[in-house]
Amino acid sequence: MNNVYPVILSGGSGTRLWPLSRKHYPKQFLKLTSSYTMVQETALRLTGFNKPIAVCNEAHRFTIAEQLTEIGQTPSAVILEPVARNTAPAIALAALKSLELDENAVLVVLAADHVIEDTDAFQIAVEAAVKEAENGSLVTFGVVPEKPETGFGYIQAEVEGQLSAIKRFVEKPDLETAEQYVTSGDYYWNSGMFVFKAKNFLEELNVHQPKMFQLVQTAYKQASSDLDFTRIPKDAFALCPDNSIDYAVMEKTQKGMVLPISVGWNDVGSFSALWEVLDKDEQGNASLGDIKNIDSQNCLVQSENQFVATIGVKDLVIIGTKDSVLVAHKERVQDVKKIVQYLGGTGRSEHLLHREVHRPWGKYDSIDNGSRYQVKRITVKPGASLSKQMHHHRAEHWIVVSGTAIVEVDEKETLLSENQSIYIPLGATHRLTNPGKVSLELIEVQSGSYLGEDDIVRFNDVYGRS
């Protein structure tokens, strides 16, 4: 099966898992259920095939490339969506790219942020779906429902319990209808995972959504290479209709098939769903971090950097990060998105970024700030370099904590080691490089009238940022 390409769709923002998930670092890049991030777990399920094709937005391009490379799954391609247009156009972009790699490419389309507990059973199902796709079918996986669920769409099969033609797709039902679906036996949860030959999908897209097909094709032909990324032009792609693959193709095609699976699937769409898949103590508590529960039951408690204790509480979600704390009843976790909307409406940043922010060269943690000053802990990867830049409104003082730094200030280079420091005046052109084999850690103290991240004028950047 050397013509099979996993396609990882990584456009989600995971707002229902705030404050763990943020717009610029959403849940697919977090280690929620294992020592791997969710996108790494997704790629590792299909290591027997070609390296994956990833589709993501520009803000996540370095993160997804780095996380996949860390596990030996350097992507076959990373396609940058300039604007969100739902799953049908995104999959079409991946299909067009795959045909450049193999004219007979078979795509296994996966969301980047789902949990599958039984990987062996899933791989067997994928192999069966690939064989069916080779015959021209467009296959989707239907999850055998474990309970009535009102948060998922459903697929009704023509024949119960086996690979079957699709009878119909249905939207998220009310509880009574969901109970009827589960009892009937021929309804499955809509997993949002698909297997088909790239050319067959594009043919069906052209039949059922010819305008979308033409617009995606036009946008793809105008694509450019940017480092290791395929950049799609925004003006052209923005013209595409905003449609899911279900609505655009699967509900209309005569080639659709559904394969039932029981693999421990969970879309981890809320904290209650996350609680379900995590290990729990005898009282039903799932704890992540430095936690002590006393006489508490069925809670999810997570802490990023401080001790958290609970006493005598039940069915609560308590999530602590470096800059925010969420306390909610498990039955109300769907309303977390209201907090995200509030933060966006008030101009705050807690829904966008964590206090610790990842960059292509490493990361920084804003550990303190006040009037006219800010303190950051900066980590630079071995061999990495920040952009050559200057600031109009702030000066900086750098103190090396560990590792070695080459600091260029107005064309003069200085080599710094542990416990050494340097001052960068306001308006000075400067660059920071880690020439060593271990990570460079330093403390940055900023002072000035304006300390925003947008006060950066870049003169040269190896990562192609403006």
Q: In which band, very low, low, confident or very high, does the pLDDT at 463 lie, cut at 50, 70 and 90?
A: low
pLDDT digits (tens, 9 = 90+) for 86-124: 999 999 999 999 999 999 999 999 999 999 999 999 999
The pLDDT of 391-398, averaged and rounded, is 96
Higher pLDDT, 271 or 160: 271
The pLDDT of 282-304, averaged and rounded, is 96
The pLDDT of 143-166, averaged and rounded, is 91
Q: Which residue has the tokens 């409406």?
A: 345
CB crowding 372-409: b at 16 or more within 10 Å, else e: eebebbbbbbeebbbbbbbbeebebebebeebbbbbbb
Mean residue pLDDT of the chain comes to: 93
Residue 364 pairs in a beta bridge with 357, 378
76: exposed, middle or buried (Cβ count in 10 Å: 0-12, 13-18, 19+): buried
The pLDDT of 422-436, averaged and rounded, is 96
pLDDT of residue 461: 67
Short-list 145, 165, 143, 365, CA closest to 254 = 165
Q: In which band, very low, low, confident or very high, does the pLDDT at 151 lie, cut at 50, 70 and 90?
A: confident
Residues of CATH 3.90.550.10 domain(s) within the chain?
Answer: 4-266
Q: Decide if pLDDT at 466 tops 60.
A: no
**Side-chain-side CA neighbours of residue 134 (13 Å):** 10
Residues of CATH 2.60.120.10 domain(s) within the chain?
Answer: 356-460
pLDDT digits (tens, 9 = 90+) for 309-358: 999 999 999 999 999 999 999 999 999 999 999 999 998 889 988 888 88
pLDDT of residue 13: 77
CA quadruple 65, 68, 70, 72: dihedral sign? negative
Write down the pTM of the prediction: 0.88
The pLDDT of 441-446, averaged and rounded, is 96
Q: Decide if pLDDT at 382 tops 90.
A: yes
Cβ neighbors of 76 (< 8 A, separation 6 or more) are 5, 50, 51, 52, 53, 101
The CATH code belonging to domain 4-266 is 3.90.550.10
Tell me which of 2.60.40.10, 3.30.70.80, 1.10.1740.10, 2.60.120.10 is the CATH number of domain 356-460: 2.60.120.10
